Amino acid sequence: MNRHAQIRALAKVNLALDILRKDLASGYHEIRTVLTEYSALADEITIEEGANYGGFDVEFPNAPELEANNTVKTALTLLKRDFPDTPSIYISVQKNIPILSGLGGGSSDAAAVLKQLGIWWKIPHEELLKIAERVGMDCPFFLYGGTALGEHFGEKITPLPSLPSSITIEVITTNVAVSTKDAYAHVDLSHCGKNRAKTDALIAALHEGDANAIIKNIHNDFGEMLCGSGGAQLRVHQR
């Protein structure tokens, strides 16, 4: 019997984001960021195995403009290249995470699919990480989930303790759509990387479970109230 799964791809927010410098060879920016999943906002994904081998089909019923070029298709192309003797796959993605909002929806979709297929097909986590790094710099974080430190271009992940349960995160979505590529293209590096001590303090506060210190040290080089590189805004408080 062919397998079927319905999974959620959670959004993320950046609790800290330090933009350190631009790597001229790759064109990417080196960063240091603390990310956490935001479970109140998620895309809904249906995955079904087919009877044949090798192929896949990806649909976005409420966002058809994504069907020609999307992170799920990229991830599956890479996965099938490395593991061709696997069943065909049908995937449907219901988008709830705003596109180009800085909330990581595309990367989360790809990672959620990779994780589920990794479970079904017994693909080691290390192999999935190699694929995720080629999909996008946020994608490896979603293979870990929870709260984590992202370094280099954001793809080098170190898990961190979860946020204390007393902390409430509120994401306010806007109609402002900003691609990550465009956001970094226009960033003024002379104003960035000034709050690295706050990132260290935030990480220490996570290990100590100090909610007040966590909230005090949240920051983002794109703007203090932004969730990431897009237009969504972040509010964090204690219950």
Q: What is the DSSP string of 147-165?
A: EEEEETTTTEEEEEPPPPT
CA–CA distance, 39 with 63 (Å, rounded to integer): 21
Active site residue 12: yes
194 is catalytic: no
Q: Which of 18, 109, 138, 221 is catalytic?
A: 138
Distance CA 192, CA 212 (A): 24
Choosing from 12, 73, 95, 115, the catalytic residue is 12
Place of tokens 């397998």: 3
Please state the φ and ψ torsions of residue 230, each to the nearest 5 degrees. Answer: -100, -155
Strand runs labelled E in 164-221: 167-172, 219-220
CA trace torsion 95, 233, 231, 203 (10° rounding): -90
Beta strands in the chain (DSSP E): 4-22, 29-53, 56-59, 87-94, 147-151, 156-160, 167-172, 219-220, 233-238
Contact between 31 and 17 under an 8 Å Cβ cutoff? The reply is yes
Indicate which residues carry an active-site annotation.
Answer: 12, 138
